[in-house]
Amino acid sequence: MNQQGVRWTAEQVLALAPDDASRRAGAKLGTAGPWSGGGSDGSGAVWGLCKGSGSKPYRTIVDTAGPAYSCSCPSRKFPCKHALGLLLLWSAGGEAVPDAGVPDWAEPWLAGRRARATGGRGPGADGGGPARSGDPEAARRRAEQRAARITAGAEELEQRLADLLRGGLAAADRSGYGLWEETAARMVDAQAPGLAGRVRDLGAIPGSGPGWPVRLLEECALTHLLDRAWLDIDRLPDPLAATVRTRVGLTASADGPAVRDHWSVLAQYDTPDGKLTTRRVWLHGRNSGRTALLLSFGAAGRAPALALPVGTVVDAEVRPYPGAGRLRGELGEQFSPPVPDTAHPPGGDVAGALAAYGTALREDPWLDAWPVTLTGVIPVPSPGGGWQLADADGGSALPVTAAALGGPGLWRLAAVSGGRPVTVFGECGHRGFTPLTAWSPETPETVPLT
């Protein structure tokens, strides 16, 4: 494999930045000026010395296969601006980061990582590992206690929903957000974070613009459905029961059989939610045809650890989690660093996309959207100010979700299309289609829209 080919693009590097300030600071350092002693080896390690304000330069090392970062600077940002600058320099392919042997100062850290990578997967590769395996009897008792608390929470929530419907949703508009916050807190006490999250979302609906009563009734009904499913979980078939457990907020471990494949990285995007940033990475297995979702979380000020550049393919194992359509997976061993890839997954028309979402609801009625690839669609501005993705024959169209309107991604999509058919990967659901990545026959690029 050509070394140059493995390098990431500037966009991919900048996507790693924990915040805008770091992105800017990193971009400033992404030039040869302050750097010396830089280099990279064939296996994804990049290093360099960055002159800072002190007398000794900072030692920056990045393992792009992870990716993982090490820097001698005191910054608490992660990755720090030096790591970002170094990666930008590397991505630009200049002579400041030539192919070279690993210098002595970078060797121990890299060797330590490699040793851990080969000697079994590192512990807690993706947050929240399973509970300590101790006394199985005690674990069973703890699980029962938690289930009982969740049951009590679900019953209380049922009661509140019934009261709400008895008094009317119109009253919910007046009672404001406080009521929902309090109910959400009760669900947190009941150790049912999934229910708590749904309740918080319910509280935001009355302020969400015209048509809110319809949306509120829909979401109340689905929350009710989840309550009922939990309360009768013993009578559900196993896969559905697993979905319900996941939806309620019980963490499961990725216990499915690992799937080794060449996984194309289709999309990566972050959703900040208060103190936590959630990063979603969509993969598509070239041979298995499976779509997998990797989740990674970052606390305030830190980018989520997992980063796979869009438009690359990686030979790796993915282990699926139970429930919820078995989309979510955990990244296992990687057998190669990510290499560029311009192929797009097979796709279909807009009717097929909605049908796929409908089918997925059979396994998980709480799904808001389902990953699909549309081929031969044209982005079209619709008269009401929104956008559509229309089949190239001009017959049918899907609306673009309100959340995706107005962002730079939509304009990139329009530009890449230029009024001609393109292939778009995204999430299709009852709110419409959220475009995430585009491919055009006119350019060899994979264009991220997030």
With respect to another protein, which residue has the nearer C-beta, 226 or 292?
226
Among residues 19, 31, 151, 341, the one that binds another protein under rule CB under 8 A: 31
Cβ 422 vs Cβ 413: under 8 Å: yes
Q: How far is the CB of 149 from another protein (least distance, A)?
A: 22
Q: Give the DSSP H or E segment for 408.
A: helix 408-417
- Which whole-number Å values give the CA distances from 155 to 150, 158, 159, 228, 436, in the listed order? 9, 5, 6, 9, 38
With respect to another protein, which residue has the nearer C-beta, 47 or 387?
387
Structure tokens at 20: 């805008």
The phi and psi torsions of 404 (rounded to 5 degrees) equal -85, -10
Site stretch for another protein (CB under 8 A), options 31-39, 114-122, 143-151, 284-292: 31-39
With respect to another protein, which residue has the nearer C-beta, 294 or 449?
449
Residue 398 interacts with another protein (CB under 8 A)? yes
Among residues 73, 103, 399, 405, the one that binds another protein under rule CB under 8 A: 399
Site stretch for another protein (CB under 8 A), options 62-70, 119-127, 144-152, 442-450: 442-450
Return the residues of window 44-73 that contact another protein according to CB under 8 A.
Answer: 51
Among residues 224, 286, 302, 319, the one that binds another protein under rule CB under 8 A: 224
Q: Are strands 339-340 and 328-334 parallel, antiparallel or unpaired?
A: unpaired
CA distance 345 to 436: 13
With respect to another protein, which residue has the nearer C-beta, 123 or 419?
419
- Which whole-number Å values give the CA distances from 292 to 233, 289, 328, 371, 390, in the listed order? 26, 10, 6, 9, 26
Among residues 19, 34, 334, 363, the one that binds another protein under rule CB under 8 A: 34
Q: How far is the CB of 264 from another protein (least distance, A)?
A: 17
Report helix, strand or coil for 99.
Answer: strand
Q: How far is the CB of 83 from another protein (least distance, A)?
A: 15
| Listed residue (397, 301, 352) closest to 20, CA to CA | 301
Structure tokens at 270: 């972050």
Can you tell me which residue has the tokens 């608390």? 149
Site stretch for another protein (CB under 8 A), options 117-125, 232-240, 252-260, 387-395: 387-395
Cβ 151 vs Cβ 231: under 8 Å: yes
Residue 440 interacts with another protein (CB under 8 A)? yes
Site stretch for another protein (CB under 8 A), options 290-298, 304-312, 320-328, 382-390: 382-390
CA distance 424 to 379: 10
CA distance 356 to 111: 46
Q: How far is the CB of 234 from another protein (least distance, A)?
A: 20
Q: How far is the CB of 102 from another protein (least distance, A)?
A: 25
Return the residues of window 307-366 that contact another protein according to CB under 8 A.
Answer: 350-351, 354, 357-359, 361-362, 365
Structure tokens at 149: 């608390």
Return the residues of window 102-161 that contact another protein according to CB under 8 A.
Answer: 158, 161
Q: How many residues bind another protein (CB under 8 A)?
A: 83
Cβ 419 vs Cβ 406: under 8 Å: no
With respect to another protein, which residue has the nearer C-beta, 191 or 223?
223
With respect to another protein, which residue has the nearer C-beta, 102 or 447?
447
Q: How far is the CB of 96 from another protein (least distance, A)?
A: 9
CA distance 421 to 389: 10
Among residues 28, 114, 260, 319, the one that binds another protein under rule CB under 8 A: 28
Residue 27 interacts with another protein (CB under 8 A)? yes
With respect to another protein, which residue has the nearer C-beta, 212 or 297?
212
**Amino acid making up residue 211:** G
| Listed residue (395, 253, 222) closest to 329, CA to CA | 253
Site stretch for another protein (CB under 8 A), options 147-155, 246-254, 268-276, 388-396: 388-396
CA dihedral 118, 121, 127, 128 (to 10 degrees): -160
**Mask 152-171, x = binds another protein (CB under 8 A)?**
------x--xxxxxxxxxxx
Cβ 189 vs Cβ 199: under 8 Å: no
Q: How far is the CB of 50 from another protein (least distance, A)?
A: 10
Q: How far is the CB of 180 from another protein (least distance, A)?
A: 16
With respect to another protein, which residue has the nearer C-beta, 187 or 416?
416
Residue 92 interacts with another protein (CB under 8 A)? yes
- Which whole-number Å values give the CA distances from 96 to 8, 35, 70, 87, 355, in the listed order? 16, 7, 19, 11, 51
CA distance 63 to 57: 19
